[in-house]
Homo-oligomer: A and B are copies of this chain.
Amino acid sequence: MPPSHPFDFGAVDPLGDDKLHEECGVFGVIGVTDAANFIALGLHALQHRGQEAGGIVTHDPESGFQTVRRFGYVRDNFTDAETMAKLPGTLGIGHVRYSTAGSKGQTAIRDVQPFFGEFAMGGAAIAHNGNITNANSLRRELIERGSIFQSSSDSECIIHLMARSLQKTIPDRMEDALRRVEGAFSVVAMTRSKLIGVRDPLGVRPLVLGRVGDGWVLSSETCALDIIGAEFVREIEPGEMVVISAAGLESLRPFRPKKSRFCIFEHVYFSRPDSQIGGRSVYETREAIGAELAREAPVEADLVCPVPDSGTPAAIGYARVSGIPYGMGIVRNQYMGRTFIEPTEQIRNMGVRLKLNVNRALVKGKRVVLVDDSVVRGTTSRKIKEMILDAGAAEVHFRIASPPTAWPCFYGVDTPQREKLLAAGMSEEEMRAHLGVDSLRFISLDGLYRAVGEAGGRNAAAPQYCDACFSGEYPVEPADMVEQGFRSKTAAE
C-alpha cells in the first residue's frame, strides 16, 4: 500500500489559518545545463505560492519530454540526485500548486501541473497561475466534441484547445487556445525547443523575465531569479506573449489591448517581501502600508506587535511613524507545519497555540497594537486576541494592512465563500465587537493605493489595480461562478 500523501484523508489544519492563498507559482528556463536544477531552486523560492504539490517537465533530444509531479514540498521532492537524473535537458518548466478549498474531494496527482499533451507536430507542456473563469463551459464544449479530460483542473482546457487548433506551430496553437480563454492567467509553456510565457491582457497575475548566463528565465516573482543568480530583465507585460528559443526572444501581442489591472493583494500578502514589483521591494511597500495605516488610524499604546510573520513589515512601518516601540510580542514556532495527520482531539483543539506563543513577560500590562495583513474569517484574530489578553495585556488594538476583504477572488486565489468573509456581513465596528478588541481599523482603499505608489489614490472610474476582493468590482466576468448563482456587486446593484 503506497503511503498516503500528507494531504490525504485525515489531514487537519488545526490552525484555522485565516489567510487568502495564492494558488500557484510558475517557473521556466531555457539555455542552461541541467535545467531541472534551476527549476527546482526557482520553485523552492516560489513555494509560498503553493505548498500542496509541484511538478517539473524537461525536454532533452535523447529522452524526449520527462515529467515528475509529486505532492509535498519542492525541497523534499526535487533535490535528490536520483529524481533530478530523470529530468535531463537544457529547457524546462515547473509549477507549485496550492489546493483550492472549494474543490470537491481531493486533489489527485493527475491534477498537478505542468500538463503535457502530444500533438501531431510534437509535444508541449504548460503550467498556469491564475484561473480560467469560463472553464466549465469550455470543458462541456470540448467533451461534446470528443476530448477526454484527465484532470479536474481548469488549466487542462488550454491543452485541449491547443490539440484541436488547426494552426501549424505550437505557439500559434497556444494563441488560438488562449483567445478562447477568459480570466487571469500567467502561463509558462514549452515545446521541444521553445520556452513560452504569456500574461493575460489585464496582467492580473505576475510574470517576470530574467537572464542567467546565456539562458532565459520566466518566473512568477523576482525572488526566484535571485536564488539561481539570474539577472532581472523586466516584467512580461499584460497581454504579451514571449517565445524564446535558440534564435532569441520574440515578443508577440496576441490579445486585444486592455488597461492593466494587476492584483493589489500581491503587494499586501501574496508576494515574498524580497521580491520586487514595479521596481520597489514588496517589503518596502508593506512598510509604507504600515506607515500609511499609522497616519490613518493612530492610537495611544505601549507596544506595536506584528502578527507573525506576514504582519511584520507593516508593523515596523506603523511603529516608525507612530513612535511606539516595536516588539515581538508573539513568537512563532518554526517547527510547525501546515497540517496534522489524524491528530488527537486534544491536539486538534490547541489550534493556534501550536504555532504561536505570546511573549508573556513582554506583553504584560501593556497597551498592545497588533498589526496584521488582513482579516478573512476572523477566526485566528479572535484567538490571538485571547492569547494576548490571557498574558496580561492591558488593551488590544488591531490595525489591518488591507481594507476589509468582502468579496471572493476568482482569479487564482483560494478564498472562502462570500458568506464566510467577516467583512461581507459586518461593518468595521461590528467586526471590532465580534473580535472583542479595544479598537479595530483597516487601511482605506485609497490609503492602500497611495502606499503602493499611486499618489492620487484609487481612480474609481478606471482602477489601476484589480481590487475585487475589497471593492467587489470584477474586471473579468466570473462566468462559471455566475452560472452557479454568484452575484457580483455590480450585478447586485
Query: Is A371 among interface residues, defined by CB-CB distance under 8 A?
Result: no
Q: Which of A203-211, A331-339, A376-384, A416-424 contacts B (4 or more CB under 8 A)?
A: A331-339
Tell me the complex Cα distance, A127–B434, Å: 45
Measured between beta carbons, the chain B residues less than 8 angstroms from A159 are 148
User: Which of B74, B274, B335, B342 is in CB contact (< 8 Å) with A75?
Assistant: B335
The chain B residue sitting closest to A141, CB to CB, is B120
Tell me the complex Cα distance, A346–B287, Å: 35
Q: Which of A240-248, A308-316, A480-488 contacts B (4 or more CB under 8 A)?
A: A308-316
Measured between beta carbons, the chain B residues less than 8 angstroms from A309 are 334
- Tallying the copies of this chain within the complex gives 4
Chain B: minimal CB distance from A372 (Å): 17
Query: Is A405 among interface residues, defined by CB-CB distance under 8 A?
Result: no
Q: A331-B272, A360-B276 are in contact. Are A346 and B44 (CB under 8 A)?
A: no
Query: Is A284 among interface residues, defined by CB-CB distance under 8 A?
Result: yes
Q: Which of A16-24, A80-88, A394-402, A471-479 contacts B (4 or more CB under 8 A)?
A: A80-88
Chain B: minimal CB distance from A15 (Å): 12
Are A361 and B80 closer than 8 Å at their CB atoms?
no
Are B160 and A143 closer than 8 Å at their CB atoms?
no
Query: Is A136 among interface residues, defined by CB-CB distance under 8 A?
Result: no
Tell me the complex Cα distance, A74–B334, Å: 12
Chain B: minimal CB distance from A155 (Å): 13
Are A163 and B150 closer than 8 Å at their CB atoms?
no
Are A344 and B81 closer than 8 Å at their CB atoms?
yes
Measured between beta carbons, the chain B residues less than 8 angstroms from A252 are none
Are A1 and B284 closer than 8 Å at their CB atoms?
no
Give the size of the chain A interface in residues (CB under 8 angstroms).
91
Q: A163-B147, A281-B362 are in contact. Are A346 and B80 (CB under 8 A)?
A: no
Are A226 and B337 closer than 8 Å at their CB atoms?
no
Tell me the complex Cα distance, A345–B274, Å: 26
Chain B: minimal CB distance from A370 (Å): 16
The chain B residue sitting closest to A67, CB to CB, is B108
Measured between beta carbons, the chain B residues less than 8 angstroms from A283 are 327-328, 331, 359, 361-362
Are A44 and B281 closer than 8 Å at their CB atoms?
no
User: Which of B44, B284, B334 is in CB contact (< 8 Å) with A362?
Assistant: B284
Q: Which residues in chain A, 298-351, are within 8 Å of chain B measured between CB atoms?
A: 309, 312-313, 316, 320, 325-328, 331, 333-337, 340-347, 350
Are B276 and A341 closer than 8 Å at their CB atoms?
no
Q: Which residues in chain A, 29-48, are within 8 Å of chain B measured between CB atoms?
A: 34, 37, 40-41, 44-45, 47-48
Q: A2-B5, A360-B274 are in contact. Are A147 and B144 (CB under 8 A)?
A: no
Q: A41-B347, A342-B81, A344-B37 are in contact. Are A358 and B226 (CB under 8 A)?
A: yes
The chain B residue sitting closest to A359, CB to CB, is B274
Query: Is A368 among interface residues, defined by CB-CB distance under 8 A?
Result: no
Tell me the complex Cα distance, A316–B305, Å: 13
Query: Is A223 among interface residues, defined by CB-CB distance under 8 A?
Result: yes
Are A340 and B118 closer than 8 Å at their CB atoms?
no
Q: Identify the interface centre among A5, A350, A358: most chain B CB within 10 Å of its CB.
A: A350
Chain B: minimal CB distance from A358 (Å): 7
Tell me the complex Cα distance, A353–B226, Å: 9
User: Which of B77, B328, B343, B358 is in CB contact (< 8 Å) with A80?
Assistant: B343
Contact surface of A with B, Cβ cutoff 8 Å:
1-3, 5, 9, 34, 37, 40-41, 44-45, 47-48, 51, 70-77, 79-84, 109-110, 117-120, 143-150, 159-160, 163-164, 223, 226-227, 272-274, 276, 279-281, 283-284, 287, 309, 312-313, 316, 320, 325-328, 331, 333-337, 340-347, 350, 353-354, 357-362
17 contacts between A and B (CB under 8 A): A1-B3, A2-B71, A3-B3, A34-B344, A48-B334, A51-B335, A80-B340, A80-B341, A81-B345, A146-B163, A148-B150, A223-B331, A226-B358, A227-B353, A272-B331, A274-B357, A281-B362
Q: Which 4 A-B pairs have the closest CB atoms?
A: A281-B361, A146-B164, A47-B335, A274-B331
